[in-house]
Amino acid sequence: MATAKKSQKKSRNRKKSKSGVPAINMLAGALDYFRNLKRYTDLLAVLTKPIIDEVEEVLAETGGVPAKEEPEDSTDREDAAPTTKQLLATLTPAQRLQVQQIRKVVLQQEAKYSNAVDLQDARKTATRAHTRTDKLNEAQVKKQLKAVGVKKFKSEKNKKIRGTFIRENVKLIGSIGPEHFDRIEHSIAEGFAAGRRSSAIAKDLRSINGVTKRRAALIARDQTASLNGFLTRDRHQENGITKFLWTTVGDEGVRSSHEDLEGLEFGWKDGATSGNTPAGVTSAPGDTGQGFPGTPIQCRCYAEPVL
């Protein structure tokens, strides 16, 4: 079992190694990935506009608010956030007809998105993200290893890491559109169920564009950091490095459980688990199978090699 060395603990403001800060490269890779994802979110924003126009047109006949009648049934709304189906069940027959009319436009716009973005397109985007991050990681690890005395740098391309990343990211990219339109349908049903004015529903629908954009940014940040972590581990081990120092980016955004690991030495075999961390560290990412820098969701930590 690997052991953590508390003697290696350093302050948040410690001097960085001459190899540079890998976090900068992770940020560069994430920004590049997000730029490629932005065309998906921009297209969705354009396709959302006709849906908003339809909502306003449908409700114009009733003074900008959903048609009011006695509900067909007395379905009680649950305290927990209701599903779209549950919300639709609370609508009056007239409201349902209005929502059905709007939904036709939603489905039309969703079809346009599907025709414009296919799996092959998503695969190209994911492949570009891998290539960019892999190139930045190779240069960074080379500097790291040179700084600790590794004279001959080896760097064979890991096809397994590449294949896994592309496969998982094709799924993530493919989920952006469907999730966007699901949110739209839910927001419309929610607005009608609450009897909100068309202007309020339209505002909610516009805000979904921002939600989708933030979702794309999360994918770019998290997946780039995770890939960087896997590539670092692979290249360290390929060059005979069996141990690493857990290193944070040193800002206020570092989660406390990772701050506790700052400067500790772990083996690449086991990573950081509660079984090999000092007293006082109550949890470690390895307890959930993510005991290496960059692998937990939105983790920006990185590994410094120990020769």
Give the phi and the psi of residue 120 in degrees, each rounded to 5. Answer: -65, -40
Q: Give residue 15's pLDDT band: very low, low, confident or very high (50, 70, 90).
A: very low
- Is 70 exceeded by the pLDDT of residue 91? yes
- Cβ distance 284 to 274 under 8 Å? yes
Q: What is the mean pLDDT of residues 31-50?
A: 96
Could you tell me the two tokens for 51? 């849906």
pTM: 0.84
Residues, the chain: 307
The region of weakest confidence among 93-107, 170-184, 223-237, 288-302 is 288-302
- CA–CA distance, 144 with 20 (Å, rounded to integer): 8
Mean pLDDT value of segment 98-108: 97
12 pLDDT exceeds 50? no
User: Residue ranges per domain, the chain?
Assistant: 23-240
**CA–CA separation, 228 vs 132, rounded Å?**
11
User: Ranked by mean pLDDT, which of 3-17, 35-49, 136-150 comes out on top?
Assistant: 35-49
List the strands of the sheet with 243-247, edge to edge.
265-267, 243-247, 302-306
Residue 79 has pLDDT above 80, yes or no: no
**CA 103 – CA 127 distance, rounded (Å):** 35
Q: What is the pLDDT of residues 174-197, one digit of tens each?
A: 999 999 999 999 999 999 999 999
Question: Residue 274's pLDDT is what?
Answer: 58
Query: What is the per-residue pLDDT for 284?
Result: 53
pLDDT in the model for residue 232 = 94
More confident residue, 25 or 130: 130
Residue 63 has pLDDT above 60, yes or no: yes
Angle, CA of 117, 119 and 121, to the nearest 5°: 60
CA distance 179 to 128: 23
| Average pLDDT, integer, range 81-107 | 95
Counting residues of the chain whose pLDDT is more than 70, the rounded percentage is 82
More confident residue, 139 or 79: 139
Q: What is the mean pLDDT of the chain?
A: 86
pLDDT band at 223 (very low <50, low <70, confident <90, very high): very high
Give the pLDDT confidence score for residue 99 in this predicted structure: 97
Of 26 and 201, which is predicted with more confidence? 201
Tell me what pLDDT residue 119 has: 87
Residue 121 has pLDDT above 70, yes or no: yes
Q: State pLDDT tens for residues 239-254.
A: 999 999 999 988 888 8
Q: By percentage, how much of the chain surpasses pLDDT 90?
A: 64
Q: How far apart, in whole angstroms, are the C-alpha atoms of residue 33 and residue 285?
A: 26
From residue 249, alpha-carbon distances to 16, 64, 125, 232, 268 in Å are 10, 51, 27, 16, 20
Rounded average pLDDT over 93-109:
97
